[in-house]
């Protein structure tokens, strides 16, 4: 099993909450789980650390990242800046013909919301919109920040409780973009993110 495969499987466990924030990632235990030596496990953990999902502490080991409330607030502040800017730029380039694909992805997100793939479907919807901005580096930054939030959302069972609201937000954003209401669509997105932050922080206590 390659380091890349191990990293993919561990990433799935981290984002799903199977490995919660602060969980120790023991190299011997993981080597036993995957039937490999410690070397590919070490390389996989280094990869995940580079993605911001794992913290490697010298002489102690590797752990799933665990954020304080202040750090969560900071990440959501950054997400609001980057995601709202990306949507505004995308809105300038979306053509009427593009709404067929946007609606297809939105409907798929609605269906995914009732499954364990809800987070994947939610991100696919946002990524589809943001892609029209033509700013791949910005989207990569957004995805990394969203994944960091996802670790804590899964751990605290936060966002799934609000699925009906955020699916309605998706529909409203598409409706506004179709009508040329860029400012209003961005405002819906900002409120969408702020409410997500408030709900997660409340669950974190």
Q: What are phi and psi of 7, to 5 degrees?
A: -60, -40
Confidence of residue 4 (pLDDT cuts 50, 70, 90): very high
Of 12, 30, 64, which residue sits at a domain end?
A: 64
pTM, entire model: 0.89
Same-domain pairing of 96 and 185: yes
Q: What number is the average pLDDT over the span 92-121? A: 90
CATH number at residue 16: 1.10.10.10
Q: What angle do CA 196, 138, 191 make, to 5 degrees?
A: 25
Residues contacting residue 164 through CB under 8 Å, at least 6 positions apart: none
Q: What number is the average pLDDT over the span 33-48? A: 95
Q: What are phi and psi of 62, to 5 degrees?
A: -115, 145
Same-domain pairing of 31 and 90: no
**Cβ–Cβ < 8 Å for 89, 133:** yes
Q: What are phi and psi of 186, to 5 degrees?
A: -65, -40
Neighbours of 166 (CB within 10 A): 19
Of 64, 93, 111, which residue sits at a domain end?
A: 64
Helix (DSSP H) and strand (DSSP E) numbers for the chain = 9, 2
In this predicted model, what pLDDT tens digit does every residue of 138-193 receive, in sequence order?
999 999 999 999 898 888 765 555 678 888 999 999 999 999 999 999 999 999 99
Of 64, 82, 116, which residue sits at a domain end?
A: 64
- The domain in which residue 195 lies consists of 69-204
Which of 70, 53, 83, 54 shows the shortest CA–CA distance to 148? 53
Same-domain pairing of 35 and 84: no
Work out how many domains the chain is built from and give that number: 2
Same-domain pairing of 58 and 153: no
């Amino acid at each position: 099993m390659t380091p890349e495969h191990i990293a993919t499987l561990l990433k799935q466990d981290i984002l799903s909450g199977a490995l919660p924030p602060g969980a120790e990632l023991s190299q011997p235990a993981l080597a036993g789980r995957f039937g490999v030596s410690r070397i590919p496990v070490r390389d996989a953990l280094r990869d995940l650390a580079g993605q911001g999902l794992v913290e490697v502490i010298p002489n102690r080991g590797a752990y799933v990242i665990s954020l304080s409330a202040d750090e969560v607030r900071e990440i959501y502040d950054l997400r609001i800046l980057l995601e709202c800017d990306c949507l505004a730029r995308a809105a300038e380039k979306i053509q009427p013909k593009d709404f067929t694909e946007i609606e297809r992805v939105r409907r798929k997100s609605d269906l995914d919301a009732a499954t364990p793939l809800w987070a994947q479907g939610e991100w696919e919807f946002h990524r589809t919109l943001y892609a029209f901005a033509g700013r791949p580096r910005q989207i990569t930054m957004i995805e990394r920040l969203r994944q960091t939030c996802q670790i804590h959302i899964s751990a605290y069972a936060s966002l799934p409780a609000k699925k009906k609201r955020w699916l309605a937000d998706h529909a409203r954003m598409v409706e506004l973009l179709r009508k040329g209401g860029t400012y209003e669509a961005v405002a819906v997105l900002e409120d969408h993110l702020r409410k997500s932050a408030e709900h997660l922080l409340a669950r974190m206590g």
